[in-house]
């Protein structure tokens, strides 16, 4: 297998691992929120969980997680999904290019070592954000990833609800959709920024594309207008965020 093929193979494995990690995170978020409401010392409980999930160099079976150790040694940088996977891809390519290890070891490591790391990394960073919100709720709200020109009381409230529901996640540069389609995301954003498409109010496509790392959100929103219902499949998940 040539270097381009092994790189693609590793990238495909990591992409799959990241999707699985996000599914695991959604379950973890729901379980943690359910449990924490019965805890008197919420901060203490989250700190205990953080202490466990910060041990990114140890797999569940007690073996060393190599990418986790590398991540810890670099000081826990909070990276975007693309940057994190790029770092991991280069790490495992180093295995493939090592004569003593080779491609089979690189693939096996990416599948097992990489999966465990991404699950623990996702949970760690979500717990860290949750703890920050409990310790300094006002400061966290003020540092919303929404750029100033997109900040309205309505937007802050709906984004907060969507984040708590686990359908959007914070990244180093803004947000990303989680377990929803692009059409559902466009519908969510349209309800906030262009509730009445016939009003002539412009949908802030460029800023929202940049915020979510997506492309053509305006086109996706425009397609909804052309539909008879104006709503995508699975719209109930989004509509629930707007029930006061």
Give the integer Cα–Cα distance in Å for 92 and 222: 41
Structure confidence at residue 233 (pLDDT): 85
CA atoms within 13 A on the CB side of 75: 1
Q: Which residue has the higher pLDDT, 105 or 139?
A: 105
- Tell me, rounded to whole angstroms, the distance of Cα 187 from its chain centroid: 19
Give the integer Cα–Cα distance in Å for 244 and 240: 9
| pTM score, whole prediction | 0.55
Confidence of residue 42 (pLDDT cuts 50, 70, 90): confident
Give the integer Cα–Cα distance in Å for 221 and 186: 5
| Cα separations in angstroms, 111 against 115, 124, 152 | 6, 20, 43
pLDDT tops 60 at residue 228: no
Cα–Cα nearest to 95, from 79, 83, 112: 112
- Per the structure, the count of domains in the chain is 2
The answer on 136 and 25 residing in a single domain is yes
Q: Which domain holds residue 52?
A: 3-141
The answer on 162 and 125 residing in a single domain is no
Mean pLDDT of all residues in 147-170: 89
Q: Which residue has the higher pLDDT, 191 or 201?
A: 191
Looking at 112, 141, 170, the residue that finishes a domain is: 141
H-run or E-run covering 235: helix 235-239
26 Cβ neighbours under 8 A, 6+ residues apart:
166, 178, 179
The answer on 179 and 59 residing in a single domain is no
């Amino acid at each position: 297998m040539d270097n381009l093929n092994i790189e693609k193979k590793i990238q495909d494995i990591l992409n799959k691992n990241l999707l699985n990690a996000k599914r695991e995170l959604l379950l973890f978020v729901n379980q943690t929120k359910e449990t924490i409401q019965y805890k008197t010392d919420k901060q203490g409980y989250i700190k205990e969980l953080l202490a466990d999930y910060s041990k990114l160099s140890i797999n569940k079976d007690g073996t060393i997680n190599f990418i986790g150790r590398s991540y810890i040694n670099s000081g826990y940088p909070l990276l975007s999904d693309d940057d994190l996977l790029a770092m991991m891809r280069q790490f495992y390519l180093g295995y493939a290019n090592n004569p003593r290890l080779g491609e089979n070891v690189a693939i096996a490591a990416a599948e097992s070592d990489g999966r465990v790391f991404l699950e623990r990394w996702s949970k760690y960073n979500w717990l860290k954000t949750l703890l920050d919100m409990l310790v300094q709720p006002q400061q966290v709200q003020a540092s919303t990833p929404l750029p100033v020109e997109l900040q309205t009381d309505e937007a802050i409230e709906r984004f907060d609800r969507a984040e708590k529901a686990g359908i959007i996640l914070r990244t180093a540069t803004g947000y990303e959709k989680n377990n929803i389609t692009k059409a559902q995301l466009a519908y969510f954003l349209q309800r906030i920024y262009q509730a009445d498409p016939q009003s002539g109010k412009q949908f802030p496509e460029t800023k929202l594309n940049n915020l979510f790392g997506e492309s053509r959100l305006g086109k996706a929103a425009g397609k909804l207008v052309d539909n008879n219902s104006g709503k995508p499949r699975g719209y109930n998940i989004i509509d629930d965020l707007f029930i006061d």
